[in-house]
Amino acid sequence: MLLVSVGAAPGQETPAAPDPALQAAVAGPARNPRFLSRDAARHPVDELTFFGLTPGMTIVELWPIGGYWTEILAPYLRDGGGTYVAALETQPAGSPERDAATKRGAYFTRRLAEDQDLFAGVKLATLGPGTENIVPPGSADLILSYRDLHLWMKQGFAEEALVDCYKALKPGGILALVDHRGNRAGEQDTHAADGYVREDYAKGLAELAGFAFVAASEIEANPKDTADWPHGVTTLGPTFALGAQDRERYAAVGEPDNFVLKFRKPQ
């Protein structure tokens, strides 16, 4: 069940019933078994339903890496008359992130080539410092950003990225923002070095770019995550950055506590 809190202006949102076609896409036999094992933590049907996904939309997913969401969204949108756009990470020459971004992009495009039936119709775009236009301005219905914000903050690129999202969306379009929720008691590190972002800080950044807050879901909440781990968010699963050290303790905590926020570009 979705637990929804809403901003004062929009009023209460009632969660929609899941689309059977979306449920079928999530249950698709061509999905990677490793990704299927992640469904319990990511709640793909409920989360995409919360964001208002419909099959005829133009969807932009920002910085997809492994293709978890691509395996679901590409066939769902293609069969429903919509469009899926993967906006790959791009970094300027000389950037310390450039080599890693290039490797991630190469891995993603290789995955597309390996299963051309599953990924038929996927369009590619880019997002990075200086990109300006992810897709033609005002052409996207929904932009999905999963655990990107803390990376943008680390790179000093968060405000620019959110402005680029605003430009890409149609009036009334939705920005879906999901990331690791930081401890409310602490001051936000503007570079999010530990991988955590305070929810109120994330809202403020999105609103600064022009977005109006619509609703929040607690679907990825984990109160056991105190956001104060020795290696930041990667201390927890599925990364377990400390290896075998205290692994049982961190496995018992579970995966990181994430906020799930929905914003709208005003009409």
Instruction: Give, in order, the Cα–Cα distances in Å from 94 to each of 10, 90, 190, 234.
Output: 44, 12, 23, 26
Q: pTM, whole model, 2 decimals?
A: 0.92
What number is the average pLDDT over the span 141-150? 98
State which amino acid sits at residue 44: P
pLDDT higher than 80, residue 6: no
pLDDT band at 92 (very low <50, low <70, confident <90, very high): very high
122 in helix, strand or coil?
A: coil
Task: For residue 168, give both structure tokens.
Answer: 């890409």
Q: Is the separation of the CB atoms in 88 and 127 below 8 Å?
A: yes
Q: Which of 95-104, 141-150, 179-188, 247-256 has the lowest mean pLDDT?
A: 179-188
Kindly state the helix (H) or strand (E) to which residue 84 belongs, with its residue range: strand 83-89
**Cβ-contact 90, 125 below 8 angstroms:** no
The confidence score (pLDDT) of residue 14 equals 66
Q: Average of pLDDT values for 143-158? A: 97
Helix (H) or strand (E) holding 248: helix 247-253
State mean pLDDT over 146-168: 97
The domain total for the chain is 1
- Residues with Cβ within 8 Å of 98's Cβ and at least 6 positions away in sequence, in order, are 91, 92
Whole domain around residue 192: which residue ranges?
4-264
Of all residues in the chain, what percent carry a pLDDT higher than 70? 94
Cis peptide before 223 (omega within 30 of 0): no
246 Cβ contact list (under 8 Å, min separation 6): none
Can you name the residues that pair with 258 across neighbouring β-strands? 180
Q: What is the pLDDT of residues 194-241, one digit of tens each?
A: 999 999 999 999 999 999 999 999 999 999 999 999 999 999 999 999
Q: For 99-142, write each residue's pLDDT tens digit.
A: 999 999 999 999 999 999 999 999 999 999 999 899 999 999 99
Helix spans in 144-229 (H) = 149-154, 158-168, 199-208
- CATH number of the domain at 255, please: 3.40.50.150
Spatial separation of the C-alpha atoms in residues 162 and 25, rounded to whole Å: 29
pLDDT at position 178, please?
A: 98
From residue 16, alpha-carbon distances to 2, 45, 80, 223 in Å are 10, 11, 18, 26
Per-residue burial over 12-47, b = 16 or more CB atoms within 10 Å of its CB, e = otherwise: ebeeeeebeebeebbeeeebeeebeeeeeebbbbbb
13: pLDDT confidence band, cut at 50, 70 and 90?
low
pLDDT of 163 above 80: yes
Strand stretches in 128-186, DSSP E: 140-146, 169-180
Provide the mean pLDDT of the chain.
93
Q: Which of the four pLDDT bands, split at 50, 70 and 90, describes residue 19?
A: very high
Pairing status of strand 123-127 against strand 140-146? unpaired
Complete edge-to-edge strand list for the sheet that includes strand 140-146? 4-6, 212-217, 258-264, 169-180, 140-146, 58-62, 83-89, 123-127
Q: What is the pLDDT of residue 185?
A: 81
Contact 79, 57 (CB under 8 A): no
